[in-house]
Amino acid sequence: MGVAFHVGLDVYHRARTAEAKAAALARDSFTCQVCGAQTADVVAHLWRQPRILPSYRLDHFVTVCGPCHRAAHARGAVAIVRPHCDWESYRDDVVARPRAAA
């Protein structure tokens, strides 16, 4: 019974996350919100996560291109920030990080 419950939670989480990511990509017109690139490798990145439960809020996702996404997850980067951070300071931190080659 417990396994079935957790499988159900996983399915629910994947569906809600996919829905939020699709909405973020559409909201941002498939354009990287860090550098402005409109490339095929744009993804919806979860940049802000609450402490306990997963976030499905649209404003916690942002569209980024591959190089900016790698920079957001680079060594020493704060890939997902806590609620006190604002998007502008997070974006500035990503911009300051070196871009990995595609």
DSSP string, the chain: -HHHHHHHHHHHHHHHHHHHHHHHHHHTTT--TTT----TT-EEEE-B--SSSPP--GGGEEEE-HHHHHHHTSTT--SSB-TT--HHHHHHHHHHSPPPP-
In a domain, 102, yes or no: no
In a domain, 22, yes or no: yes
* Total domain count, the chain: 1
Mean pLDDT of the chain: 81
In a domain, 9, yes or no: yes
Distance of CA 67 to the CA centre of its chain: 13
Instruction: Answer yes or no: pTM beyond 0.85.
Output: no
Q: pLDDT band for position 88 (50/70/90)? A: confident
Full residue range of the structural domain in which residue 12 is found: 2-96
In a domain, 101, yes or no: no
Tell me the average pLDDT across 43-72.
83
In a domain, 86, yes or no: yes
In a domain, 18, yes or no: yes
The pLDDT value given to residue 73: 81
In a domain, 47, yes or no: yes
